[in-house]
Amino acid sequence: MRTLRMAILAASLATALVAATAAFGQALPRPATWVDGEVFAGVVTPATFDPGNGNFDELYMCTDGTTFKDGVPLISDAGPGDTDYNGGRWHLNVSTNCDPTADSDADLDLGDFTSTSTYFECPLLPRRGSG
């Protein structure tokens, strides 16, 4: 239950951040994301989705203040170039038991993550010199 409350708080904060930056004409958040050992930059965009209508990729985040390898806050199960990548349409999963050396979903114990009702759009852009 605590993890779910933390996930709701994280989703609420992310939504508020996107709304505030868009309202004031500032740049949208650009979180870094690991995909199979390569770091991508994201571009969070305001969007509303019906989870039952379309495909989404799984995104993993820690809610206890820890991060993954090199301080990157997110790990995805797919990214640009993968045949199953859905263009940055995400379903968020959270955990308080994260491996700070992980840089791929293969490094994660997916049983430690709780599914949330948070779906959003954030296309991934390659970062030069990462990996």
Read off the pLDDT of residues 107-122 as tens digits, 9 standing for 90 and up.
999 999 999 988 888 8
Q: Is a pLDDT exceeding 60 seen at residue 62?
A: yes
Query: Has residue 131 been placed in a domain?
Result: no
| Domain with 82 in it | 2-126
Grade residue 2 by pLDDT with cuts at 50, 70 and 90: low
Q: Which among 92, 65, 61 is positioned nearest to 74, based on CA atoms?
A: 61
Please give the average per-residue pLDDT across 29-54, as a whole number: 80
Share of the chain above pLDDT 90, in %: 43
Please give the average per-residue pLDDT across 64-82, as a whole number: 92
Return the structure tokens found at 121. 């759009």
Cβ burial, residue 123 (10 Å; 0-12/13-18/19+): middle
Q: How many folded domains does the chain comprise?
A: 1
Decide if 74 contacts 41 (C-beta within 8 A): no
Share of the chain above pLDDT 70, in %: 72
Q: Name the region of 65 (left: φ>0; alpha: ψ -120 to 50; beta: rest).
A: left
pLDDT at 21: 38
Q: Is a pLDDT exceeding 60 seen at residue 124?
A: yes
Enter the DSSP assignment of 15. H
